[in-house]
Structure 1
Amino acid sequence: MVERMVSLSVGILLSTSLLHALPEAFESDADPHALFATLLGGLLGFFLLEKMAILRHSHHYEGDGHGHEHGHDAHEAGKAGWMILVGDGLHNFTDGILIAAAFLADPGLGLITALAIVAHEIPQEIGDFIVLLNAGFSRTRAYVYNMLCSLMAVLGGIIGYAALDRATNLIPFVLVFASSGFIYIAVSDLMPQMQRRATLRETIPQVVLIAVGVLTVLFLTGQTHGH
């Protein structure tokens, strides 16, 4: 199920950013050079944020042969669990702002952006839940904390809507920044996961699901613009 969601997410994320969010931003009155600079800054920024997360996370597990004292890796996993929660909360808060900006630009784009974020968040939240369990959280605590982190998106949406409604000139830049995140996630994170399964039998469903993601976005766009 998670593997299928990853393939579907690639199609939705790329088509949302390349076919809708970026055109919407560049059709505005904003300076194209400034928008491209925002796109470049977003891609590099996500790269650096991921590097920081990789450097600060421990990937050991108890008894992996690294020679630490007993309990060291469990302690490190516990710290990583709390870092996951903080990072996920901030990420969801940002997602809320991005959805608000998309809805302010165009209700149809807002719907598609929300779909893209949900499609990506499902496999990510499942992964986070597993990390929290490995970090020593009970199932109930892991579920409750994940839900609280998810609610940060609602807070981000409310604040983003209130702020951007008074500063509409910033909306194109937020859309470009969101697109840089979608593109980076799809190309740097999700596609490499799919490349690990390189047989024809595994590749065909991946390609089909990517196409389904793209067609879903195109269908929703046609429906929202049709009304």
Structure 2
Amino acid sequence: MARRGAFRTAIASCVFVLAACAAASQIKGSPAIDSLSLEELDGRLQTCPVVQELNTAKAAHFEAAPSSLTTQLFSVLFPGSPAVNALLATLYISGPPNFLLALVPTNIDPSSLSVMVAFAVGGLLGDTLFHLLPEIFVGEDEPDRARFVLVEPNRNLILGLGILVGFMTFVAMDKGLRIATGGEGHDHSHGHAHGDEKHARTADVGLSTGANTVQGEAKLRKKGDNKKDQADEQSQLKEINPSVKLGGYLNLIADFTHNITDGLAMSASFYASPTIGATTTVAVFFHEIPHEVGDFALLIQSGFSKRAAMASQFVTAIGALMGTLIGIAVQEFGSGGADGEAMPRNGGLWGTSLTWGDMLLPFTAGTFLYVGTVAVIPELLETGPNKGEELRKTLTQFAAVAAGAGIMLYISWHE
């Protein structure tokens, strides 16, 4: 407690003395201040005696704290550079969920995934609120030194605009697929609304004029039909309603596009910090399991065989790799000044210190907000006539959301 009190005292002292320290370091009023980069400004601040005292207290505080289990695990899973770690994360979120499809029965009901979807929503919203948004506006804490945030005109406005662009991008994707499917309300369109009861009902309606109708007739006439009639019925089983087939193919396209955004999220988060990258990987991984199972069930309903559905999911996973590579390229070539020189503080986007690489994380946060709210929450709000059953279901879903968010909070608290 005494060490924590000293740590807080050092912080309070730094707040009051920082202006004087800046003046003593000739930061304030310097004619070349606008030409300095954020790193150069931070370097000058670090020469302040009060900041150095704060750094010493902070380093001692973190050295005394034992390394958490999650930190040790993340260091094993992600041992390389931001680019290498982003590629590893893409492999983690794309490989295992797709291989799990071999264990999924072909007659799975997407609505049975509602609890898993609720858990994934908690993870996504927890990652967004506990990690991404604080990182976007404030930055990541450093264990051995004080980190100061420069409040500059319009920087936060541009970051907020990036979040809005990410959100509206997924709105456009969802709306476009609804138009392509005739306005049937395809909430699963961008590959997020897994466990979608509405979509399951839509698929059932489409199949009622195709395979389901044929199956019902086959059972009624089974005793009296000859082999020729049975052969005709088998051929009709393969003739899935065209609108349902179209929904399956459009879902593959949307899933491929969604996976690109997942790859962008991996690269943006790891270039922000190793902790942000690791937690984003965990959140996306939790989401990918019901994601892939829901898409798998949709493809089966659209007339795909189990092998073809699994192969299609592996093909769409290429989108995640593409997104990661695009994100790495943006981070490597879209950040900093020309020829590797430090960019002046106001030499970025619209006279701020932001670069195009800095906009990937806000875009990711916007997509996660859409996924965790607009895309999935309506499913969790749907209720049936049985009040007792719906109450139990609701409590289970809320518990799953709390569990997903709780894991993200635990990781944030002990990172």
Query: What TM-score, normalized by structure 2, do the two folds share?
Result: 0.49
Structure with higher RCO (Cα < 8 A, 6+ apart): 1
Change beyond 3 A, Cα 1:5–1:157: same
One-letter amino acid of the structure 2 residue matched with residue 170 of structure 1: W
Identical-pair percentage: 29
Who is 1:124 aligned against? 291
Quote the Cα distance in structure 2 between the aligned partners of 1:190 and 1:73.
27
> Which of the two has higher C-alpha Rg?
2
CA distance in 2, matches of 1:125, 1:96: 16
Looking at structure 1, the residues matched to 245 and 319 of structure 2 have their Cα atoms a distance apart, in angstroms, of 22
How well do the aligned residues superpose, as a CA RMSD in angstroms? 2.4
SS of match in other structure, 1:136:
coil
Instruction: State the Cα deviation string for residues 15-50 of structure 1 (Å, max 9, x = none).
Output: 111221111111256810111122223323322221
Residue 152 of structure 1 aligns with which residue?
319
Residue in 1 aligned with 2:380?
194
The residue aligned with 2:404 is 213
Distance in 1 of aligned mates of 2:395 and 2:280: 26
Q: Deviations over 1:145-204 (max 9, x none)?
A: 101212321232233223312324334321111111111111112211111247331222
Contact 2:130 2:408 in 1 (8 A): no
Code of the aligned partner of 2:160? F
CA contact (8 A) 2:269 2:361 kept: yes
Q: Output one character per residue of 1:93-148: Cα deviation in whole Å (capped at 9) or x when no partner.
A: 22111111100101111111112222222222212112211222111011011012
1:49-68 to 2 correspondence within 5 Å? 49-57=173-181, 59=202, 61-64=206-209
Aligned: 1:17 with 2:154: no
Q: Are 2:395 and 1:204 aligned?
A: yes
Residue segments in structure 1 that go unaligned for 5+ positions in a row: none
Residue 26 (structure 1) aligned with residue 137 (structure 2): yes
The amino acid across from 1:61 in the alignment is: G
Is the Cα contact below 8 Å between 2:119 and 2:401 reproduced in 1? yes
Q: Is this contact kept in 1: 2:261–2:364, CA < 8 A?
A: no
Q: 2:119 is aligned with what amino acid?
A: L
Is 1:176 equivalent to 2:358 in the alignment?
no
Q: Distance in 1 between matches of 2:135 and 2:274?
A: 12
Return the alpha-carbon distance in structure 2 between the equivalents of residues 136 and 73 of structure 1: 6
Q: 1:6 corresponds to which residue?
A: 117
Cα distance in 1 between the residues matched to 2:319 and 2:171 = 23
Which has more helix, going by share of residues? Answer: 1
Distance (whole Å) between structure 2 residues aligned to residue 53 and residue 33 of structure 1 = 30
C-alpha separation in 1, matches of 2:293 and 2:315: 15
Give 1:73 shift. 6.2
8 Å Cα contact 1:109-1:221 kept in structure 2: no
> How many equivalent residue pairs?
220
4+ residue runs over 3 A deviation: 62-65, 70-73
Q: Does the residue aligned with 1:54 lie in a helix, a strand or coil?
A: helix
Q: Deviations over 1:49-78 (max 9, x none)?
A: 21111121264514449xxxx999622322
Residue in 1 that maps onto 2:334: 167
In the alignment, is the contact (CA less than 8 A) between 2:173 and 2:254 conserved in 1? no
